[in-house]
Structure 1
């Protein structure tokens, strides 16, 4: 089963459960330049050029999250890619998957800008840039 939590709920899980692992499934550019939560492990679901599927995604996550019973939280830009990534991990036997709703930047607002109506940064949670 894949659980959906908002960014504040996800942050609480990370603070309260030392076994929890946060996987940032965005591209390397998004992770580095847009920013990411502290200790987020970058494993792209899709990558440039062409936003091609990372065929090694599940194996790469296994290296960082070998315990398939521990919580694995998945973060993308707006909460869409992370759902697909969670489904792939669920098929591999991961038991406690958490999709972070709104993602890091949140949905587009009326001016087609992100970060003004939702997302990890919008909620004032810790983040950093490379």
Structure 2
């Protein structure tokens, strides 16, 4: 079963569970230039410019998180790609999968802009930018 946690809840879980791992499934450009949570492991689910699925996603996660009982938190831009990635990991046998609701940037607002309604940055959680 895949859990959905708000960014603040996900951050608290990361702070209090030493085996928890945060996987940033966004593209390299998003990860590097839009910003990222500190200590997030970057493993793209899809990559620009053609948005093809990363055929090595599950094996790359397995290298980083060999314990399939450890909490694996997944983050993308808005919460959709991370949910798809969590579903793939669930099929691979991971037991504690957490999708971060709203992702890093949150949903689009009425002006079609992100960052105003939710997400990791909106919640005021720690983040870095290249």
Output the aligned Cα RMSD.
0.5
Count of residues in Structure 1 that have an aligned counterpart in Structure 2: 130
Q: d(CA) in 2 for partners of 1:4 and 1:55?
A: 25
- Where in structure 2 are there 5+ consecutive unaligned residues? none
Q: Which residue number in structure 1 is paired with residue 23 of structure 2?
A: 23
Quote how far apart the aligned CAs of 1:129 are.
Answer: 1.1
Quote how far apart the aligned CAs of 1:93 are.
Answer: 0.3
Q: Which residue number in structure 2 is paired with residue 93 of structure 1?
A: 93
Q: d(CA) in 2 for partners of 1:49 and 1:27?
A: 9
Matched, 1:32 2:38: no
Q: d(CA) in 2 for partners of 1:63 and 1:49?
A: 26
> What does residue range 40-51 of structure 1 map to in structure 2 within 5 Å?
40-51=40-51
Deviations 1:55-88 (A, max 9, x none): 1000000011110000000000000000000000
Matched, 1:129 2:129: yes
SS at match of 2:82: helix
Q: Which residue number in structure 2 is paired with residue 6 of structure 1?
A: 6
Q: d(CA) in 2 for partners of 1:72 and 1:41?
A: 11
Q: d(CA) in 1 for partners of 2:113 and 2:20?
A: 31
TM-score if structure 2 supplies the norm length? 0.99
Q: Which residue number in structure 1 is paired with residue 104 of structure 2?
A: 104
SS at match of 2:98: strand
Q: d(CA) in 2 for partners of 1:50 and 1:10?
A: 30
TM-score if structure 1 supplies the norm length? 0.99
Q: d(CA) in 2 for partners of 1:129 and 1:65?
A: 24
- In the TM superposition, structure 1's runs of 4+ consecutive aligned residues that sit over 4 Å from their partners are none
